[in-house]
Amino acid sequence: MKTGIDSISFDVAKIHLPIKTLAKARNIEPEKLEKGLGLIKMTLPDLHQDSVVFAANALTKLIQENNLNFSEIARIYVGTESSIDSSKPISSFLIALMEQKFGENILSECDVVDFTFACIGGVDALQNCLDYVKLNSTKKAIVVTTDFAKYDLNSTGEYTQGAGALAMLITSDPRIIAFDNNWATSTKGVFDFFKPYRTISKKAITGNSTNEPWFDNLEDEIEIHKDQPVFDGQYSNQCYMDRIRNAYFSLKKLKNTNETIYKSWESIIMHLPYAFQGRRMLSEIYALDAENKMISGDEDATEYQNKLKGISKSEDFQNFVHNKLMPAELASSLIGNLYTGSIFMGLLSTLSHFYDTAKEITDSKFGFLAYGSGSKSKVFEGTIQPDWRAAIAGIKLFETLEESFEIDFPTYEKLHKKEQKQSIQLPKKEWVLDRIEKEIPNLLGARYYKWID
């Protein structure tokens, strides 16, 4: 029995800042970001949006567009690193909102949970749901990825920001893609990118050294949460390369083959924190698994890196990039980093590109190289199914992205600093964050959402 993705929907932030505008404000040569990293726009949440809103919008579209029978939905699993609560998962918010819109208790027997492992949490949720459907072929599962990639102003990650969600229906006999059983993993506990709990002494805030209560905080240290991560970009890139290389060659062992795996892949779908990350990271695997091995791994470090640079600039590798990686980069250039959703937006971008260019890819094999900081990679494969065109016909990914509203740099900074007091665009036919409880003691911080027609 085949299992995989039967349908996909998405919701991306509807406002954006052109990368050229950011580059000029930061005294960066625009071509360095546009041609060097493949960045064109970065999307940003409006005032009424958060990770729950994006997830609920994508899920609502999936339900409505597929006329889903709620009794068949056995689980809704969420991949995210943008949780809005340290205890209550986003998936529990989704259950409440779907019942708010479609009917009380319609999902009361549905299992929900969030998966958190940086950018690979959505892939973990997918693998889990695939296993479930294999054992329960009449049931359906839904994987939702939702994130807001936010970085400090003037940081080296600032130009990779993005926001949005995807929802995917996981079934037996799927219309879009069926996944193979071989999944290879490489894991190592590192600090390449993380979002720690941070503290500041109460005295530094109040000027009072006697630890008197401050806004109901009795502790001498005040805990601070920031959406922005602590990261080392160069080290994170090395961890990315190490994990995907190890997982890739583990897949070769699982498949018990000496053939060059990537040659069998029509397209390669990778986690893309920025559009050209994949092409920058893949030259090593490309060289190591070539029919005529281009590098041995026995070279000293300098010689090894020099060979990789030469390979990455070669005509053969550039053709490889254009044929197998470029379609997944197109949407990333217009959105920015979606963290857990990045790899799935790469899939949707590729499918949409082939749909728009009338390329037939039925029975083609796609390779997936997932990565999450901390760090872990999973490498796996899927086969495109005969009904893929019908399944994505109404999605219109690139047409939707073209409708994004451009903001100016002062507005961007006000949004980032949370100084913006009104939504930039009026919401329509979407979920919004309605209010956050500030008065009732046993509900302080509770977030409430509503649907806007």
Mean pLDDT by 10 residues, the chain (453 residues): 97 98 98 97 98 98 97 98 97 98 97 98 98 97 98 97 98 98 98 95 92 91 94 96 98 96 98 97 94 81 89 95 98 98 98 97 98 98 98 97 98 97 96 97 97 97
Dihedral angle computed from the Cα positions of residues 103, 105, 109 and 114, in that order, rounded to the nearest 10 degrees: 70
If you count them, how many residues does the chain have? 453
In 256-314, where does DSSP find H-type helix?
277-281, 283-288, 301-312
For residue 92, give the amino acid letter.
Answer: S
pLDDT of residue 192: 97
172, 14 in Cβ contact below 8 A? no
pLDDT of residue 294: 87
- Integer Cα distance of 356 and 398 in angstroms: 9
Residue 106 CA: distances (Å) to CA of 71, 166, 234: 7, 22, 47
Backbone CA torsion sign across 273, 276, 279, 280:
negative
| Domain limits, CATH 3.40.47.10, in the chain | 3-192+232-282+325-452
E strands, 98-220, in order: 111-115, 140-149, 162-172, 177-179, 184-187, 193-194, 198-201
**Residue (of 224, 198, 194, 234) closest to 372 by Cα position:** 194
Domain 3-192+232-282+325-452, CATH: 3.40.47.10
pLDDT of residue 324: 98
Residue 94 tokens read as 């989704």
Cα maximum dimension of the chain: 71
Backbone CA torsion sign across 306, 243, 38, 7:
positive
